Amino acid sequence: MSTEEIQGSFHGVAARLDRLPSGKFQRKAMWLIGGVCFCDCLDMNVGGPIIAQLLASGWSDNGLNALFVSMTAFGYLVGGLLAGMISDYFGRVKACVVNVFVFSVGCIGAMLAPDMIFLIVMRFIMGIGLGAAYPAGYSALTEYTPPDKRGKYQAYVGLIANCGTPFASFVSLILLPLFGWRAIFLFCGIAGFIVCFLVAKFMEESPRWLAMKGKHKEANALVSKWEEEARTHGHTIEEVSDKYITEEAGKREVKQLPTKVLFTNKALLKRLVVAAALCWTNFVVVYTIVSWTPTIFVTRGFDVTYSVAMSVVMNLGIPLGVFVLSQLVDRFGRKPQLIILMPLSGILGLAWSFVPADQTALIMALGFIMVAMVYYWSLICSSVYLSEPFPTEVKIRAAGFANAFGRIGAILNPIWVAYFLTTDLGAIGIFGVSLLTACIAAILVAIWGVETKGKTLEEINDVVFKETNN
């Protein structure tokens, strides 16, 4: 092989990417993928205020609201399963564009819904689009960024994305009383179309994916362009020797792997179980907070507007939690942060559920802290740790499967939430389930989780391919 062929091989491209300093292409990918994930958070968080208004106005009831939330999550499940196939076979950019486009079309359909059943169907379509966009977006960024900054970039995407949560609360607070719920879906649809256009026009394909698909010249050209940009900004780019690349290439052959390898390879299966448990816990806990908190407030005697306002205050803890994550995520291991914070936030949530309804200031203050802590570890799960343990060849299929499994928790979540809301336990029962779920996930992370902090994506997966080769 010539030097050009070696440098443009998968291992050559990967090693060169890992040596690049932070630059324009990484920031551009971060903002564009952040926009995709912003739409996901915006969509997920407008659902709670909307179903609260639908319930209060008599347009819906608790049963239909539960179906609305469950079908949203079912759409996310289907989308998560499709995400891997679309992204691994057709590319990271095309996947993001198609997924956000489907979401936007669903939003416009929801705005025109003549009845609750039609609205639920449109919500399912919206869920398919964003269910695929979520793992495709977060997972793709890991392929652009160097190991020592990967966690920080992923956290920044999480910060951009999760600004959509308090933003959704503010939009709901303004648009719901003035124009009604249809205006919210119109707003989300327009936002989705804008993001779709920007990603299609400005985002460059992942060189790792291009090289894995055999498009070595395109991958080499992109990395060479980024290397030259770094040099023009005064950076010294360390050369990667042909010998090193050849040695790395000798460890394994890079090719499209079948999906079954996730279940037949013992190392990958353990990682998949951990990822699935984290996604289940993530969606159960987050959905409980963002989708059901306004309804919990309504059942405790608060009116819809005041319930949404209290939720806005609590949700201000989201950007705080994600900002703290961006500063600390690469300083400490992923595993210890998850093992400690998941059960701790569950205990805090259970304590929050015991606060009397007349202590509104305490409800909002404790809720603010709870939300900040939940979103700290939630973003480790979804934006940082979810796809890191998996190789490029099956990365987004693995993330999509784990994500889809987590969505099952979101589908089932309204069942026990609706049940507890009709009993004397109420919020105590709801947050008790969240605590139990968080403890189980923390145990699995402790036993089977792998530490990824500061390692290249290839280093993380050395043991996986040793087993495959044996």
3-state secondary structure 118-186: HHHHHHHHHHHHHHHHHHHHHHHHCCCCCHHHHHHHHHHHHHHHHCHHHHHHHHHHHHHHHHCHHHHHH
Is 89 within a domain? Answer: yes
Please check whether residue 229 lies inside any domain of the structure. Answer: no
Measured between alpha carbons, how far is 470 from 223 in angstroms, rounded to an integer? 33
pLDDT tens for residues 57-92?
A: 777 777 788 788 778 878 888 887 887 778 888 888
**Cα four-point dihedral sign 125, 131, 137, 140:** negative
Are 285 and 348 in contact, with CB atoms under 8 Å apart?
no
pLDDT tens digits for range 251-308: 666 666 788 888 988 889 999 999 999 999 998 888 787 667 767 776 766 666 666 6
Mark the ranges of the chain whose per-residue pLDDT is less than 50: 468, 470
**C-beta separation of 344 from 337 below 8 A:** no
The range of the structural domain enclosing residue 360 comes to 10-224+257-469
pLDDT digits (tens, 9 = 90+) for 346-368: 898 888 877 776 777 887 888 88
In a domain, 262, yes or no: yes
Asked, for residue 293, whether it belongs to a domain, the answer is yes
Residue carrying the six token digits 């080499």:
220
Taking CA atoms, 47 is separated from 71, 98, 376, 404, in Å, by 12, 22, 22, 19
pLDDT attached to residue 231: 87
Q: How many CB atoms lie within 10 A of CB 412?
A: 14
Cα 453 to Cα 146, 227, 301, 334: the distances in Å are: 11, 24, 46, 6
Q: For residue 346, tell me if it sits in a domain.
A: yes
> Which residue, among 266, 249, 278, has the nearest Cα to 387 in the 3D structure?
278
Two tokens, residue 355? 């606060």
The confidence score (pLDDT) of residue 470 equals: 47
CATH of the domain at 263: 1.20.1250.20
Residue 58 backbone zone (phi > 0: left; psi -120 to 50: alpha; other: beta): left
Could you give the number of structural domains in the chain? 1
Q: What is the pLDDT of residue 32?
A: 92
Dist CA 406 CA 227 (whole Å): 39
Q: What is the pLDDT of residue 49?
A: 80
Residue 236 lies in a domain: no
- What pTM, to 2 d.p., does this model score? 0.76
pLDDT at residue number 340: 93
Kindly provide the b/e burial profile for residues 423-457, where b requires at least 16 CB atoms within 10 angstroms of the residue's own CB.
eeebbebbbbbbbebbeebbebbeebbbebbebbb
Predicted pLDDT at 445:
94
pLDDT confidence of residue 253: 67
Instruction: Tell whether 318 is covered by a domain.
Output: yes
Residue 1 maps to a domain: no
Residue with tokens 């698909």: 213
Residue closest to 160 by CA, chosen among 278, 322, 288, 19: 322
